[in-house]
Amino acid sequence: MTCPGDWPEPVVRVQSLSESGKPVIPDRYIKPPPDRPSANSSPPHINIPLIDMAGLTSDDLAVREATLKEISEACREWGFFQVINHGLKGELVDGAREIWREFFHESMEVKQKYANSPKTYEGYGSRLGFQKGAILDWSDYYFLHYLPSSLKDHHKWPAKPPSLREVVEEYSKEIVRLGSVLLEVFSINLGLKHDYLQNAFGGEDIGACLRVNFYPKCPQPDLTLGLSSHSDPGGITFLLPDENVSGLQVRQDQQWVTVKPARHAIIVNIGDQIQVLSNAIYKSVEHRVIVNPDKERVSLAYFYNPKSDLLLHPAPELVTPATPALYPSMTFDEYRLFIRTRGPQGKSQVESLRSPK
């Protein structure tokens, strides 16, 4: 299974379609009726759990234990939660989002210098998956590598706006710190050694990459999606949402819950590799993005991933006669290639790997 060197069809920038002012979207973006955003939306008062991470360093043991429990329940019941008091300054959170908004409003000539290919996805893109004739999502994006350092190439990061590279460096460093904190929390909550998951990910030799999503205004938001339903293939995803425009929806009890972000919160979700390592005690969860007729939306999805060539499998301590290993050993590279071939497809990707009972 190999990635082709180029996309199967000419790439169309969704931002250009949006700015054309046409009142209808091309057929390539129209989803089948069951996949359209009006289907099975939840009541507006429901939201993903909100967790104050300051509790993890409290002097009060009861507060620390209560915070660990909150995270454990969120991982088991939702696979999604948002955190506040996470250690990232508000100015950095806002600055990271807004510097990327500026990039997407640079001229097309500037952006096209970074046009990507399916070989690495790195750079400026407008589609995920490379099946010819696929129904596409209403979004453009920018993908870049931060770790391992051998993959990081500042020349592939936008040179405009001028401060972008500096802001991305600072933001990336903070997200990697947050990733190591939560891997330790997950390990403790699963009854494993505190450094089990970090070591399973490769110690300090982990992968970290950023996809910045740009969802332009859409004249027919009821017919399409900004990002089709999928679970994230990696370890942990840290999403910096657009606080002014909601769009992320999480599947819970067969309904789609629209996430309402707290001020300066980071949204955390479990990826497929944590599902494998925890033997499905923690599950990755389907999510998707709806689009807006009047407002654009920018979000930053940071993927904190295992080292790409390590074999991953359920933790032996979590495998018993009553709970046998549900997944075969596979490297993250092998799994990522498997995912990229087909594009977003709900939870079918990871579930198809389950060992027959």
What's 346's DSSP letter?
B
DSSP annotation of 269 reads E
Residue 132 is predicted with a pLDDT of 85
Q: pLDDT digits over 171-196, tens only?
A: 999 999 999 999 999 999 999 999 99
- Residue that has been written with the tokens 């089709």 in this structure: 228
State how far the Cα of 35 lies from the Cα of 346, in Å rounded to an integer: 11
- Asked if residue 212 has pLDDT above 70, the reply is yes
- Residue 99 is predicted with a pLDDT of 98
Q: Averaged over 199-204, what is the pLDDT?
A: 96
Region 205-216 average pLDDT: 98
| Pair 23, 215: CB distance under 8 Å | no
Query: pLDDT confidence of 7, banded at 50, 70, 90?
Result: confident
Q: Which residues contact 292 (CB under 8 A, 6 or more apart)?
A: 215, 217, 218, 221, 245, 247
Alpha-carbon span 146 to 154, nearest angstrom: 9
State pTM to two decimals: 0.94
Q: Which helix (H) or strand (E) holds 251?
A: strand 248-252
CA distances from 301 to 143, 236, 249, 311 (A): 10, 10, 14, 25
Q: Is the pLDDT of residue 216 over 90?
A: yes
The 8-class DSSP code of residue 259 comes to: P
Q: What is the pLDDT of residues 102-140, one digit of tens each?
A: 999 999 999 999 999 988 889 999 987 778 889 999 999
pLDDT tens sequence across 294-327? 999 999 999 999 999 999 999 999 999 999 999 9
Which residue type occupies 79? Answer: G
Rounded distance between C-alpha atoms, residue 55 and residue 49, angstroms: 15
Q: What pLDDT is recorded for position 6?
A: 86
All structural domains of the chain: 21-353 (2.60.120.330)
Please compute Rg for the chain using Cα positions.
Answer: 20
Band of pLDDT at residue 354, cut at 50, 70 and 90: low
Torsion of CA 223, 228, 78, 300, to 10 degrees: -110
Q: What is the rounded distance in angstroms from the CA atom of residue 100 to the CA atom of residue 160?
A: 10
Contact 77, 270 (CB under 8 A): no
Q: How much is the pLDDT for 347?
A: 53
Hey, what amino acid is at 147? L
The pLDDT confidence band at residue 5, using thresholds 50, 70 and 90, is confident
The pLDDT score that the predictor gives to residue 350 is 61
Q: What is the average per-residue pLDDT within 284-293?
A: 96
Residues 6+ apart with CB under 8 A from 57: 64
pLDDT at position 336 is 79
Per DSSP, the residues of 15-82 read HHHHHTT-SS--GGGPPPGGGSTTTTBPPTT----EEEGGGGG-S-HHHHHHHHHHHHHHHHHTSEEE
Mean pLDDT of the chain: 92
Does position 356 have pLDDT exceeding 70, yes or no?
Answer: no
- Tell me the per-residue pLDDT of 45-102, one tens digit each, with 9 for 90 and over: 899 999 999 999 999 999 999 999 999 999 999 999 999 999 999 999 999 999 999 9
With 90 as the cut, is the pLDDT of residue 28 above it? yes
User: In sequence order, which ranges of the chain are alpha helices (DSSP H)?
Assistant: 14-19, 61-77, 90-104, 108-112, 164-189, 196-201, 272-277, 332-342, 348-351
pLDDT band for position 40 (cuts 50, 70, 90) = low
DSSP 285: -
Q: How far, in Å, CA of 179 to CA of 319, rounded?
A: 25
Predicted confidence at residue 45, as pLDDT, reads 86
**Quick check: 39 pLDDT over 60?**
no
